[in-house]
């Protein structure tokens, strides 16, 4: 007996029939596989998403709501500085480093400590775990406190300091300070379990920061005042000492100085020198006038000089002379030159000209006298200057030292006056200090908690749940070791899959094999009809008469397949018998819910009862069942005996088709024996459940036993999911229209 691996002759189909779906590549996965996972495992994905959302809901509802309030602080340039910009405490800049420095101040322990002390947060259980919650409970359980009175329980300074530090650190954890964009504004955000407390704390931090800036200015001003006061005292002593040294030196060297600090001799010398310069200039001017006048006199033109012309007397005489000349001209036109009137008029003219010459001489002498007086004055000043220079020559050496002493005194006095002026300005600034920052927006009481953000939580939980569900579905899909398509089985086991038997919901209430009779147009009936056709066409010349139906492990649907195949044959008009070949766990009668007689397969094989008396008739068809009513101690020996072979030969002669429901291959060796006695072996593989390694080992065992393995039936398949794996989502509904399930 040869093993037939094809279900049609070579003249009908090619040696290797094409598979009804692509062979799954377990090493790679594509977009189509992702979509298939979503379609096939959508219930699992939805379930995981629902669980995640439910857990998120439970967690969010149990969380303590946290409220967040935010205040805004703006850094301003300093407007009131002490004696020029940056004299004592420079204003805050607007660069990034300055803003970050202010952020560090806002989050510092000192500022947090001020707020804690001001609001007495050490009494607040939210910040002090020792007075509320688990801390108070553990403190109450401390045995030390049981034997000490309330008055005796005192805290040390170290304990108070540690408790305060813990409160401050707890406060800092709830404080968030961040710069706002590129501006000089700083956001001060505070979290609390109470909305009004969050706003109060945020405003308290902002106010404490502004107060800290103002206090920093006051402290800087006070320190500057103290330092300036001490420095001014030292400079005052230095200035007094320098002035005393100058006065002592003047007294020792008999140096008198004017109000401007210059010595009297030097002042007088300077004055005489100035007068001498003026006198020499005056002398030179007078000499020049005199020389010019003498030169004109010698040339007979003295009357045209400025000194003569400017004389009033000369002007009067010139007028008289002009009148006389006019009168003389008039007389000469009337009289002869010897006429007395003409002679008298000429005498008057000569008299006037003589007076003019006398006046000119007097003017020349007057100018000469001025020259002599100016020359004498110059000589007098030169003498006085020489005398003063001789007197001041002895004081030059002393004056050099005096000048040095005076410079030192002046420098000391200048420093004293400068520091005194700065002190006055600093003291004046103490009453008009303004902080470098101001609160531009106080925190408002939040109307809703900032944590937990339910919208965000559910917005994340839903896609996260779907993603987790998809990952779990993908993991289940990839880790599943079963078969999902006929192509997988044929590629791995090298045998044709002639049918896919669906898993029917009606199996819950009754035997699924009843569908062969009750619903002959159902998908289940069509699958069994395909199995029958595959067995018939596997060897057309010699159709299989004895067929063994087996599987690798229990629970794969082989008994149901055997009963359904028998009923399909009986429904087709064949004389069919079902032999319960699983002698260890006979299950055919139980599956059909039939009552057995006293005799069965063991009795028929051993000859204790007639074969016809051992059959049980099927309730749905004309098929008969030869049940196994007793479990023998040695099933393999019975199946391998001549008596069982004779029994099977007898059944061959009486029935057109004998279906043997055998035991699973892997647990026992009974099926190996039955396989050698059969004409064909149908190997049942449960869809998605039978491990691939188990199926491969079972087929190998049948090959080793030289059993005629004809075909494979893929049983208990989820019809919808199987269609997704084999034909695609769109094809399922079209195929389903042909069935009347």
Q: Which long-range contacts (CB under 8 A, 24 or more apart) does 85-93 make?
A: 87/422, 88/220, 88/221, 88/224, 88/426, 88/429, 89/216, 89/217, 89/220, 89/221, 91/436, 92/436, 92/437
Task: Please give the pLDDT value at position 155.
Answer: 46
Higher pLDDT, 622 or 152: 622
Q: Of 588, 578, 560, 573, nearest to 625 (Cα)?
A: 578
Contact (Cβ atoms closer than 8 angstroms) between residue 83 and residue 475: no
Domain positions in the chain are 31-63+452-477, 68-211, 264-394, 484-736
Least confident of 181-185, 187-191, 312-316, 692-696: 312-316
Question: 136-150, 363-377, 649-663, 709-723: which range is least confident on average?
Answer: 136-150
Task: For residue 616, give the H/E element and its range.
Answer: strand 616-617
Of 233-237, 437-441, 507-511, 624-628, which gets the smallest average pLDDT? 507-511
Contact 112, 175 (CB under 8 A): yes
pLDDT at 228 over 60: yes
**Structure confidence at residue 514 (pLDDT):** 85
pLDDT in tens, 165-215: 999 999 999 999 999 988 889 999 999 999 999 999 999 999 999 988 888
**Residue from 66, 177, 17, 67 nearest 111 by CA:** 177
pLDDT(648) > 90? yes
Mean per-residue pLDDT of the chain: 79
Task: Please report the pLDDT score of residue 12 as a whole number.
Answer: 29
CA distances from residue 198 to 201, 269, 414, 437, 438 in whole angstroms, order as listed? 5, 86, 57, 22, 20
| φ/ψ bin of 631: left (φ > 0), alpha (ψ from -120 to 50), beta (otherwise) | beta
Q: What pLDDT does residue 657 have?
A: 95
In sequence order, the β-bridge partners of residue 659 are 547, 578
pLDDT of residue 14: 34
Most confident listed range (87-91, 453-457, 502-506, 648-652): 648-652
Phi, psi dihedrals of residue 300, rounded to the nearest 5°: 80, 15
Which fold does the domain 484-736 belong to in CATH?
Rossmann fold (3.40.50)
pLDDT tens for each residue of 438-459: 898 999 999 888 888 888 888 8
Please report the pLDDT score of residue 7 as a whole number. Answer: 35
Check whether 721 has a pLDDT greater than 80.
Answer: no
Buried b (16+ CB within 10 A) or exposed e, 102-123: bbebbeeeebbbbbbeebebbe
Band of residue 317 on the pLDDT scale cut at 50, 70, 90: confident
**Of 205-219, 309-323, 332-346, 579-593, where does the model show the most confidence?**
579-593
High-pLDDT (> 70) share of the chain, %: 79
In whole angstroms, what is the distance from residue 400 CA to residue 379 CA?
A: 31
> How far is CA 321 from each of CA 47, 325, 339, 363, rounded to the nearest angstrom?
149, 6, 20, 19
Question: Cα separation of 245 and 402, whole Å?
Answer: 9
Q: Nearest Cα to 442, choosing from 214, 217, 198?
A: 198
**Contact predicate 530/498, CB 8 Å:** yes
Beta-bridged to residue 257, according to DSSP, are: 263
The least confident of 477-481, 487-491, 512-516 is 477-481
Query: Using CA atoms, how far apart are residues 182 and 732, in angstroms rounded to an integer?
Result: 62
Predicted confidence at residue 141, as pLDDT, reads 54
Give CA 111 to chain center in angstroms. 26
Q: What is the mean pLDDT of residues 568-580?
A: 93
Least confident of 326-340, 523-537, 637-651: 326-340
Q: What is the dihedral of CA 643, 646, 650, 655, to 10 degrees?
A: 90
- 260 versus 702: the higher-pLDDT residue is 702
Q: How far is CA 549 from CA 499, 662, 689, 704, in A?
A: 14, 6, 18, 17
Average pLDDT over residues 224-244: 81
List CB contacts of 398: < 8 A, sequence separation 6 or more: 249, 253, 255
Quick one: average pLDDT of 316-324? 76
Q: Which pLDDT value is given to residue 347? A: 80
User: pLDDT-derived band of residue 739, with 50, 70 and 90 as boundaries?
Assistant: low
| pLDDT score at 727 | 57
Cβ neighbours of residue 449 closer than 8 Å, sequence gap 6 or more: 65, 66, 67, 68, 195
- How confident is the model over 707-734, as a mean pLDDT? 72
Q: In angstroms, rounded to a whole number, what is the distance separating the alpha carbons of residues 608 and 504? A: 40
Task: Give residue 309's pLDDT band: very low, low, confident or very high (50, 70, 90).
Answer: low
* pLDDT at residue 152 in the model: 40
Question: pTM for this structure?
Answer: 0.50
Q: Per-residue pLDDT tens for 56-66?
A: 888 888 888 99
> Mean pLDDT: which of 53-57, 323-327, 421-425 is highest?
53-57
Q: Which of 73-87, 320-334, 355-369, 393-407 has the lowest mean pLDDT?
A: 73-87
Which CA distances in Å does 519 have to 504, 514, 528?
A: 12, 8, 12
User: Contact 498/7 with Cβ under 8 angstroms?
Assistant: yes
Please give the pLDDT value at position 654: 94
Residue 717 belongs to what H/E stretch? strand 709-717
- Rounded to an integer, the average pLDDT of 622-635 is 90
- Sequence-distant (≥ 6) Cβ neighbours of residue 566 within 8 angstroms: 576, 577, 578, 618, 621, 623, 657, 659
Cα–Cα distance, 527 to 565 (Å, whole number): 10
């Amino acid at each position: 007996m040869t093993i037939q691996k094809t279900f049609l002759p070579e003249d009908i189909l090619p040696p290797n029939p094409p598979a009804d779906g692509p062979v799954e590549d377990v090493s790679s996965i594509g977009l189509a596989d992702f979509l298939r996972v979503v379609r096939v495992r959508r219930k699992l994905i939805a379930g995981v998403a629902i669980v995640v959302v439910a857990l998120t809901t439970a967690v969010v509802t149990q969380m303590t709501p946290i409220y967040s309030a935010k205040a805004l602080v703006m850094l301003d340039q300093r407007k009131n500085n002490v004696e020029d910009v940056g004299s004592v405490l420079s204003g805050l800049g607007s660069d990034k480093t300055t803003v970050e420095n202010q952020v560090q101040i806002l989050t510092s322990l000192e500022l947090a400590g001020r707020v804690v002390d001001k609001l007495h947060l050490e009494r607040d259980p939210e910040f002090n775990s020792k007075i509320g919650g688990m801390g108070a409970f553990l403190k109450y359980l401390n045995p030390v406190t049981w034997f000490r009175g309330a008055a005796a329980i005192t805290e040390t300074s170290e304990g108070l300091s540690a408790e305060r530090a813990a409160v401050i650190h707890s406060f800092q954890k709830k404080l968030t300070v961040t710069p706002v964009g590129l501006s000089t504004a700083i956001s001060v955000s505070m979290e609390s379990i109470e909305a009004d407390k969050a706003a109060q704390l945020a405003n308290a931090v902002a106010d404490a920061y502004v107060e800290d800036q103002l206090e920093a200015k006051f402290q800087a001003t006070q320190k500057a005042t103290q330092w300036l006061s001490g420095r001014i005292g030292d400079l005052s002593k230095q200035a007094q000492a320098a002035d005393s040294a100058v006065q002592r030196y003047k007294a020792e060297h008999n140096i008198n100085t004017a109000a401007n600090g210059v010595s009297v001799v030097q002042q007088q010398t300077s004055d005489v020198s100035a007068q001498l310069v003026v006198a020499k200039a005056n002398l030179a001017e007078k000499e020049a006038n005199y020389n010019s006048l003498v030169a004109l006199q010698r040339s007979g033109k003295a009357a045209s000089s400025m000194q003569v012309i400017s004389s009033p007397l000369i002007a009067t005489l010139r007028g008289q002379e002009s009148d006389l000349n006019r009168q003389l001209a008039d007389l000469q036109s009337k009289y002869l030159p010897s006429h007395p009137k003409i002679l008298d008029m000429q005498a008057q003219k000569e008299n006037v000209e003589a007076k003019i010459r006398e006046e000119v001489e007097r003017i020349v002498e007057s100018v000469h006298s001025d020259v002599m007086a100016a020359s004498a004055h110059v000589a007098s000043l030169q003498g006085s200057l020489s005398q003063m220079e001789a007197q001041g020559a002895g004081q030059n050496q002393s004056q050099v030292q005096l000048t040095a002493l005076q410079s030192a005194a002046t420098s000391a006095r200048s420093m004293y006056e400068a520091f005194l002026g700065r002190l006055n300005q600093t003291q004046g600034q103490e009453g008009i200090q303004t902080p470098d920052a101001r609160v531009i927006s106080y925190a408002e009481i939040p109307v809703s908690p900032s944590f937990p953000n339910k919208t965000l939580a559910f917005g994340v939980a839903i896609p996260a749940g779907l993603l987790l569900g998809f990952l779990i579905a993908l993991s289940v899909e990839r880790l599943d070791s079963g078969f999902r398509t006929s192509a997988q089985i044929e590629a791995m086991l090298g045998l044709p899959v002639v049918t896919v038997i669906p898993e029917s919901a009606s199996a819950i209430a009754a035997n699924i094999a009843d569908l062969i009779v009750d619903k002959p147009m159902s998908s289940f009936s069509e699958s069994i009809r395909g199995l029958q056709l595959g067995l018939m066409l596997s060897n057309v010349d010699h159709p299989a008469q004895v067929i063994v139906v087996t599987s690798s492990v229990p629970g794969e649907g082989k008994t149901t397949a055997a009963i359904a195949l028998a009923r399909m044959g009986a429904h087709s008009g064949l004389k069919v018998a079902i032999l319960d070949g699983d002698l260890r766990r006979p299950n055919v009668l139980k599956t059909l819910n039939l009552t057995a007689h006293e005799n069965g397969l063991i009795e028929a094989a051993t000859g204790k009862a007639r074969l016809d008396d051992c059959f049980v008739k099927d309730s749905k068809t004309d098929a008969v069942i030869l049940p196994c009513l007793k479990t023998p101690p040695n099933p393999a020996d019975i199946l391998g005996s001549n008596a069982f072979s004779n029994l099977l030969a007898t059944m061959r002669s009486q029935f057109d088709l004998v279906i043997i429901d055998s035991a699973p291959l892997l647990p026992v060796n009974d099926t190996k024996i039955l396989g050698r006695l059969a004409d064909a072996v149908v190997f049942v593989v449960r869809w998605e459940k039978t491990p691939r390694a188990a199926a491969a080992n079972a087929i190998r065992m049948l090959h080793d036993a030289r059993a005629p393995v004809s075909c494979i039936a893929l049983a208990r398949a989820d019809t919808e999911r199987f269609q997704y794996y084999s034909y695609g989502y769109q094809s399922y509904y079209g195929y389903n229209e042909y069935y009347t399930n």
